[in-house]
Structure 1
Amino acid sequence: MSDNAATTACADTAAPRPVTHVAAAVLLRQGPAGTEFLLARRPEGKVYAGWWEFPGGKVERGETDAQCLVRELQEEMAITVTAATPWITRRFEYPHASVRLKFFKVTAWEGGAADGDIHAVEHDAVAWTPLGAPAAVAPVLPANGPILEALGLPEVYAVTDAGAHGVAAELARLDAALAGGLRLVQVREKGDGLDGAARRDFAAAVVARVHAVGGRVLVNDDVELARAVGADGVHLSSSALRAAAVRPDMPLVAASCHDAAELDAAIALGCQFAVLGPVAPTASHPGTAPLGWGRFAELVEESPIPVYGLGGLSAADLPAARAANAHGVAALRGW
């Protein structure tokens, strides 16, 4: 079962309906073109037959989301999950029910076909697609759009600090990180010793480098600068987020958040992702008490958009981030 309610959303009703809880799986493997995810096709005789979806199903009485995930993949794919981490939570309105879908990233399993692939039991076909690429099959249930978009976001989000390191040193650091696979960067420089022209030149240099390897760049708070240098989007500071009445007209919009209210504001504004922190003690905010991964997990448990942990983190913190419902880590120094 998948999040196919976008094509069948019904009008609001006077009284709230019971919520059906569903666990959905994003199966990930290493393929010839890098990391790939799996979609499965609904068979004849079922609603939306022939449409592609993420496998999963309804949480039964007494089950946790994670337990349901394991059971459903045994039934639908004949595999036993051995490594899965919680991810985003989406809600949709079906004509007959209100549905909450908890998505998990599944990275290891046992069983499957003799050739090592997965052959569906309850679907009539499966297909693998590289992360960040358009789905290799069609039609994909329209409500899966936000899920596919979110899957295209890398796990590491680098934040520049040329004001502290110097422009030449920061560009050299960026070149090394891009060679190592970095693909998502925020140009944060503001009030850090870079005047208007210097900031624009630096942002343009970052965009040129990142775009050359197929990555994306956001500019902190400055929509005009983002457009001028050809950036992919804008990253709103928490103060800009609180002041925003409408979503900036950019392809990619993110926001910095520190608490539940700001995270709700980012979701309501239509941001594609958010960063939340500080998770750990950080030199940039020495007087701020860190959230810790436990509190972080509580705040993002129901988030429908990917959320990165921020504050005193690096790529070495990715395992803890994944376990806490985070999409990944954002870092000012640790990239």
Structure 2
Amino acid sequence: MRPELSGVVVLTDRRTARRPLAETVAASVEGGARCVVLREKDMPPDERAALAEALRAVLADVGGLLVVAGPDPLGGDAVHLPAAGPYPPPDLPLVGRSCHDEAELSRLSRERYAMVSPVFPTPSKPGYGPPLGLGGLARLVSRSPVPLLALGGITPGNAASCLAAGAAGVAVMGAVMRADDPAAVVRDLLSATLSVKTPAGRGGVWS
């Protein structure tokens, strides 16, 4: 049984994290995060596999889930793929994909969710054109065959508006990675998202 979507998915970025990445993830889990996407695709394979094992153990203690960016689940069964490929996606229990427009959403097949970005201005998403904004997010939600997670410039102050626009949840990197207190940021994000009733049929990405 997959953990229910908590409303907040944390993406890793060791280069911007104020603490060692494992500590930042542990603090995020302490704050209530139950799904983490391991990026760090430039790490040596052995080191990345060891990090995946360590983070998976942290999440297992709370019934959480580690999703690995890229087609190799590194010993798990959940991956998050870029819009560019591979197509078709690997045959795994949970596959998600990054998307930026309707054309990319239309290529989804066995993916269970998509992460759309950038919703708000963010320095971590250069080259993807202007932010979608809440109107653009709502438009993609209405045309998507799978639940969408909003990514890009997400903060406790705007997270609720993304769910009100129809997103199943929010995905956050910078606001958590750069935080002095990642647990507090995740708690604030969860508090914001839990205040909004998810539209019918858009919850339970992992269920």
TM-score w.r.t. the length of structure 2 is: 0.77
Equivalent in the alignment of 1:189: 40
Q: Percent identity?
A: 36
Equivalent in the alignment of 2:20: 169
Q: What is the distance in 1 between the residues matched to 2:7 and 2:136? A: 20
Equivalent in the alignment of 1:302: 143
Q: Is 1:233 the counterpart of 2:78 in the alignment?
A: yes
Q: Is 1:253 the counterpart of 2:95 in the alignment?
A: yes
Equivalent in the alignment of 1:274: 114
* SS of 1:290 mapped into structure 2: coil
Q: Deviations over 1:257-311 (max 9, x none)?
A: 0100111212xx1211110010111111244311111111011113232101111
Q: What is the distance in 1 between the residues matched to 2:20 and 2:80? A: 23
Q: What is the distance in 1 between the residues matched to 2:96 and 2:140? A: 17
Q: What is the distance in 2 between the residues matched to 1:330 and 1:292? A: 15
Equivalent in the alignment of 2:124: 284
Q: Which has the larger radius of gyration?
A: 1
Cα distance, 1:319 vs structure 2: 1.3
Equivalent in the alignment of 2:87: 244
The equivalences for 1:38-53 within 5 A come to none
Q: Which amino acid aligns with 1:244?
A: Y
Equivalent in the alignment of 2:66: 217
Q: What is the distance in 2 between the residues matched to 1:303 and 1:165? A: 32
With over 3 angstroms needed to count, the CA separation of the structure-2 counterparts of 1:331 and 1:307, relative to structure 1, is: same
Equivalent in the alignment of 1:39: none
Q: Is 1:205 the counterpart of 2:54 in the alignment?
A: yes
Structure with more of its chain in strand, by fraction = 1
Give yes or no for contact 2:100–2:117 (8 Å, CA) kept in 1: yes
Q: Which amino acid aligns with 1:160?
A: T
With over 3 angstroms needed to count, the CA separation of the structure-2 counterparts of 1:285 and 1:302, relative to structure 1, is: closer
Equivalent in the alignment of 2:187: none
Give yes or no for contact 1:183–1:214 (8 Å, CA) kept in 2: yes
Picking from 318, 323, 329, the partner of 2:159 is 318
Q: Is 1:153 the counterpart of 2:5 in the alignment?
A: yes
Q: What is the distance in 2 between the residues matched to 1:170 and 1:319? A: 27
Q: What are the ranges of 5 or more consecutive residues in structure 1 without an aligned counterpart?
A: 1-132, 134-148
Give yes or no for contact 2:13–2:39 (8 Å, CA) kept in 1: yes
Q: What is the distance in 1 between the residues matched to 2:170 and 2:46? A: 30
Q: What is the distance in 2 between the residues matched to 1:315 and 1:306? A: 21
Q: Which amino acid aligns with 1:277?
A: S
Q: What is the distance in 2 between the residues matched to 1:169 and 1:258? A: 30
Q: What is the distance in 2 between the residues matched to 1:313 and 1:254? A: 19
Give yes or no for contact 2:119–2:134 (8 Å, CA) kept in 1: yes
Cα distance, 1:164 vs structure 2: 3.7
Q: Which amino acid aligns with 1:196?
A: P
Q: Which amino acid aligns with 2:82?
A: S
Aligned residue pair count: 175
Give yes or no for contact 1:186–1:218 (8 Å, CA) kept in 2: yes
Q: What is the distance in 2 between the residues matched to 1:259 and 1:303? A: 10
Q: Which amino acid aligns with 1:180?
A: G
* SS of 2:124 mapped into structure 1: coil
TM-score w.r.t. the length of structure 1 is: 0.49
Q: What is the distance in 1 between the residues matched to 2:62 and 2:79? A: 20
